[in-house]
Amino acid sequence: MPDNTHIKFLLDEDEMPRSWYNIMADMPNPPAAVLHPGTHQPVTPDDLAPLFPMALIMQEVSTERYIDIPEPIRDVYRQWRPSPLYRARRLEKALDTTARIYYKYEGVSPAGSHKPNTAVAQAFYNKEEGVKKLSTETGAGQWGSALAMAGAFFNMDIEVFMVKVSYQQKPYRRNLMQTFGATVHASPSNLTNAGRGILAQDPENMGSLGIAISEAVEVAAMSGGTTKYSLGSVLNHVLMHQTVIGQEALLQMERAGDYPDVVIGCAGGGSNYAGISFPFIGEKLRRGLKTRFVAAEPMACPSLTKGIYAYDFGDTVGMTPLVKMHTLGHDFMPPGIHAGGLRYHGMAPLISQLHEEGIIDARAYHQNATFEAAVQFARAEGIVPAPEAGHAIKAAIEEALNAKEAGESPVILFNLSGHGHFDMASYDAYFAGRLQDYEYPAEAVAEAQKRMPQVV
Amino acid sequence: MPDNTHIKFLLDEDEMPRSWYNIMADMPNPPAAVLHPGTHQPVTPDDLAPLFPMALIMQEVSTERYIDIPEPIRDVYRQWRPSPLYRARRLEKALDTTARIYYKYEGVSPAGSHKPNTAVAQAFYNKEEGVKKLSTETGAGQWGSALAMAGAFFNMDIEVFMVKVSYQQKPYRRNLMQTFGATVHASPSNLTNAGRGILAQDPENMGSLGIAISEAVEVAAMSGGTTKYSLGSVLNHVLMHQTVIGQEALLQMERAGDYPDVVIGCAGGGSNYAGISFPFIGEKLRRGLKTRFVAAEPMACPSLTKGIYAYDFGDTVGMTPLVKMHTLGHDFMPPGIHAGGLRYHGMAPLISQLHEEGIIDARAYHQNATFEAAVQFARAEGIVPAPEAGHAIKAAIEEALNAKEAGESPVILFNLSGHGHFDMASYDAYFAGRLQDYEYPAEAVAEAQKRMPQVV
């Protein structure tokens, strides 16, 4: 019986998860190997050691179901975790739906999104192994500000390559990183070979996540070990750190007296969607449940719905290992949609494989539709969502309205991955009718495929 | 014994206060009468009826110690209330202080500050009495966005007169109000006699809270009853609605095993400071405690530390009743400091009287010093404070450092009234060295006094 008297389901501090959940333990098939970019042979831990601390490399390949969360990380987490789970009663009323809609809210973290869940963990493990500085990339700035905050907590230097178009359009995110003490560069920059190479070909290049990754990886690789590289999504260990979200939600849904029929999240690199869904997917796989899983992505950068499942680089220049994933091609330059966190050419290998195996569905939306959903949500629930999270809201509203049509009463759970306080200019553009909807050209993937690495 | 194992002290939803606390029941002396601006006679409820619903007028003059919070208001409150109380352990460590520092965090409300505590209440009571629309003013935009949100929840139209300098400098706050569905005008505007009068004298006038109040009051007064006026601070009932903050903090400090030696907040109109302090002042007055109370205000607009205690208008044009308060003169135009919420010529009458009676101390700070404190706090605690709250942090850090000097271990409690996500441009200006410190001229009050209403 659902609890119809509460709208907020909190957990005690001591109910915060004590371990991360590793979905590799429950997947029907082992994940595809990660390949060396030069030899196309499986990478070894030693290959990755210049970029990552050994503890994270070991997490990347672990098949243990649970990995303990060290106490210093939990100590930081508990400032805002367990995060609240809400029943969206006012939204349900506004939609006049028979569905019960729940959302997990990760915007309560000091950086305003789910990103600190892994930023704090990565800073901790690097600090433990004596690393002084972390380099990273950021698009919209959610990830960069999370790592900047973690760097402030663990007294580490943070150097962020921020996609140039966002650096110019989102000065407040940049100011936030600087307030936390980080150094922020517009990417492509003149500070790296990768950046100089891009600028030599195209001095007006406005940057992409792929290019910024190339720059940040180069800084770490050339540092002689003092600087390591930190990634905010895509990798197995990053997704695993986010599973605190779904583990808490499992317990909170139980308190609410409900269990989701469908679990929804937006997906760019895949980390917030993994966070909310993996623990529920684990339940489904182990217990044979019928739960549906929906990843919502932008029409302008539709890796799961339009990309191909193939080996590709994680960055634009081709410095990273090759991973098997849904990709639009490592040189794909996504249009300047306002959900900057979803402008990535690839998708996390674990999410890609689960999609390929039919466990996760994906849907793509145009940005105007996601802003319309976000505004409806804001007026009902008071929380202004990040444009990325607007994609999850759009999918949740679609599910709720379909249920009403069909006379059904499903339980819908989505992850509200962050607030939109730093994205108000995007709302302004939406209200002014200045947002453009971009269709991904059907022939583009076949073209991109020709430029992808040919793995035998 | 303080609880040294936790940093966050939460309360259950059912521990949220069931009533507001009315300090008038415990004050040593009754508050000074509010006077009609024309006759200088005490105002009657009927005099106020064109502006406010009767329920709020009755709260304004009530001397009952507790007033029940209606269930529909609690229903909205419980989305984010009880708000967390934190032990600032990382800040204590950064300061190397022997003090124990706690902060109550009101930035968890969807609008990002304490303002929804009264916005929701005011919207509810107006709705109950059939009012269709509320007019209001806003400076930095914290109040306007809170009322816009409450209007969305209760399906009421909200019309906001936003001080022109903020309208232009803080487009994101304006976008936030618009996202909630409110109509926002730059003040002074051509929509009111008050605005037209100011613009006729000075077409380049950048506005002030006093002018914006005149405009919003006029819209309500001329509406024939369909529109009422809503104020975000200063008035007794507004301060009372905020006492949920301090009542929760009393209980949370008890859970923390501590009791504050000093209670700190920033003070502009006085509502957040009343919210945190009044319940503790009540304890002091009833139980004879030694607790100290510190209100922190800007040097540029120092009503408590430099103003005179006299009858004055709440607005610039002279449309509001006369209240006895600390004032810099109703025509004082505060310099454009970034803590827009503290740019008000007066102070809440209740706070003023408590200050006059020696129960509350006040201190004034320059804005560069408050931003320095805010950045130190952000790097330690992860939360970027609103510039207004930076004043409270500055005072708390000062207390902590003094304690270290004196070899004492006091318990410091301050209210972190809101986050600074919409104020990042101010941080940018601070880092760039572009913030000016303004000294209030010593002779200004005597000059202003000549223009104040002469009440016999």
Per residue in A220-279, pLDDT tens?
999 998 999 999 999 999 999 999 999 999 999 999 999 999 999 999 999 999 999 999
The answer to whether residues A117 and A150 touch, using CB atoms and an 8 Å cutoff, is no
Which tokens go with A219?
């800084």
Kind of pairing between the strands at B292-298 and A8-9: unpaired
Compare CB distances from B421 to A421, A428, A431 and report the shortest one's residue. Answer: A421
Size of interface A-B (CB pairs under 8 A): 123
Q: Which pLDDT does position A456 carry in this prediction?
A: 75
What pLDDT score was predicted for residue A246?
98
Structure tokens at B124: 């509810």
Mutate to test the interface with A, among B8, B11, B76, B79 (most CBs of A within 10 A): B79
For A51-82, the pLDDT digits (tens) are 999 999 999 999 999 999 999 999 999 999 99
Find out whether A25 and A63 touch, Cβ atoms under 8 Å.
Answer: yes
CA distance B272 to B253: 18
Lowest-pLDDT range of A1-5, A20-24, B144-148, B277-281: A1-5
Rounded Cα distance, B173 and A384, in Å: 12
Q: Do A10 and B7 touch (CB under 8 A)?
A: no
Q: How far is B92 from chain A (nearest CA, A)?
A: 13
- The distance in angstroms from the start CA to the end CA of chain B is 54
Rounded Cα gap, residues A423 and B12, in angstroms? 32
Model pLDDT, residue A139: 87
- Is the CB of residue B229 less than 8 Å from the CB of residue B88? no
| DSSP type of residue A42 | B
Inter-chain touch B428–A175, beta carbons under 8 Å: yes
User: Dihedral, CA atoms, A205, A207, A208, A211, nearest 10 degrees?
Assistant: 90
Query: Could you give the CA distance from residue B427 to residue A341 in angstroms, rounded to a whole number?
Result: 24
The two tokens of residue A44 are: 């070894």
Say if the Cβ atoms of A175 and B427 lie within 8 Å: yes
For the stretch A379-435, pLDDT in tens is 999 999 999 999 999 999 999 999 999 999 999 999 999 999 999 999 999 999 999
Q: How many CA atoms lie within 13 A of A385 on its CB side?
A: 30
Min CA distance, A9 vs chain B (Å)? 9
What is the predicted pLDDT for the residue at A118? 98
Q: Which residues pair with B308 in a beta bridge?
A: B327
Q: Which residue of A has its CA nearest to B421?
A: A421
Instruction: Spell out the SS3 assignment of A156-199.
Output: CEEEEEEEHHHHHHCHHHHHHHHHCCCEEEEECCCCCHHHHHHH
Confidence of residue A23 (pLDDT cuts 50, 70, 90): very high
In the predicted structure, residue A160 carries a pLDDT above the cut 80: yes
Residues of A in contact with B153 (CB under 8 A): 90, 382
Question: d(Cα A157, Cα A117) in Å, to the nearest integer?
Answer: 19
Q: B149 to chain A: which residues are within 8 Å by CB? A: 382
User: What dihedral angle (degrees, nearest 10) is formed by the CA atoms of B87, B89, B94, B96?
Assistant: 100
Which token pair is A352? 């890609």
Q: Note whether A117 and A245 are within 8 A (CB).
A: yes
**Strands (DSSP E) found in B299-366:** 308-313, 322-327, 361-365
B378 vs A431: CB contact, 8 Å cut-off?
Answer: no
What residues does A284 pair with on adjacent strands? none
Tokens of A282: 């684990």
Spatial contact of B150 and B232, defined as CB atoms under 8 Å apart: no
Q: For residues A86 and A385, what is the distance between their CA atoms, to the nearest angstrom?
A: 14
SS3 state at B433 = coil
Q: Give A275 to chain B, closest Cα distance, Å.
A: 22
Q: Looking at residue B139, what is its pLDDT?
A: 87
- pLDDT for position B442: 81
Per-residue pLDDT of chain B (456 residues; tens, 9 = 90+): 899 888 999 999 889 999 999 999 999 999 999 999 999 999 999 999 999 999 999 999 999 999 999 999 999 999 999 999 999 999 999 999 999 999 999 999 999 999 999 999 999 999 999 999 999 999 889 999 999 999 999 999 999 999 998 898 888 899 999 999 999 999 999 999 999 999 999 999 999 888 999 999 999 999 998 999 999 999 999 999 999 999 999 999 999 999 999 999 999 999 999 999 999 999 999 999 999 999 999 999 999 999 999 999 998 888 899 999 999 999 998 888 888 889 899 999 999 999 999 999 999 999 999 999 999 999 999 999 999 999 999 999 999 999 999 999 999 999 999 999 999 999 999 999 999 999 998 888 888 889 899 887
- Sorted by sequence, the CB contacts under 8 Å of residue A184 that are 6+ apart come out as A144, A160, A162, A167, A174, A177, A178
The predicted model gives A184-201 an average pLDDT of 97
CA gap A387, A365 in Å, rounded: 12
Which chain A residue shows the shortest CA-CA distance from B371?
A179
Q: Do B384 and A179 touch (CB under 8 A)?
A: yes
Chain B contacts of A149, Cβ < 8 Å? 382
Residue pair A403/A92 in contact (Cβ under 8 Å)? The answer is no
A171/B428 CB distance under 8 A: yes
Q: Do A424 and B13 touch (CB under 8 A)?
A: no
Cα B46 to Cα B41: distance, rounded to the nearest angstrom: 13
Helix/strand/coil percent split, chain A, to 5? 45, 15, 40
**Percent of chain A whose pLDDT exceeds 90:** 88
State the alpha helices, DSSP H only, in B346-436: 349-356, 367-381, 387-406, 424-431
SS3 letters for B204-256?
A: CCCCCHHHHHHHHHHHHHCCCCCEEECCCCCCHHHHHHCCHHHHHHHHHHHHH
State residue A2 phi and psi, 5-degree precision.
-65, 145
Check residue B290 and give its pLDDT: 97
Q: Which among A10, A149, A172 has the least Cβ separation from residue B10?
A: A10
C-alpha–C-alpha distance, residues B108 and B128, integer Å: 27
List CB contacts (< 8 A) between B79 and chain A.
Answer: 7-8, 86, 381-382
Is B424:A170 a contact under the CB 8 Å cutoff?
Answer: no
Chain B residues touching chain A at CB-CB below 8 Å = 6-8, 10, 12-13, 75, 78-79, 86, 90, 108, 110-112, 116, 149, 152-153, 171-173, 175-176, 178-181, 375, 378-384, 419, 421-422, 424-425, 427-428, 431
Q: Do B145 and B112 contact (CB within 8 A), yes or no?
A: yes
Tokens 């986010």 identify what position? A242
In this complex, do B172 and A425 lie within 8 Å of one another by their Cβ atoms?
A: yes
Residues A343, A302: Cα–Cα separation, whole Å: 9
Tell me which residue of B313, B315, B301, B314 sits closest to B197, measured CA to CA. Answer: B315
Q: Which helix (H) or strand (E) holds A228?
A: strand A227-229
> For residue B432, what pLDDT is reported?
94
Length of chain B: 456
Cross-chain residue pair A78–B7, CB shorter than 8 Å: yes
How far, in Å, CA of A320 to CA of A40, rounded?
A: 12
Strands (E), A71-190: 85-87, 100-105, 133-138, 157-163, 183-187
Contact: B384, A6; criterion CB under 8 Å: no
Q: How confident is the model at residue A120 (pLDDT cuts 50, 70, 90)?
A: very high
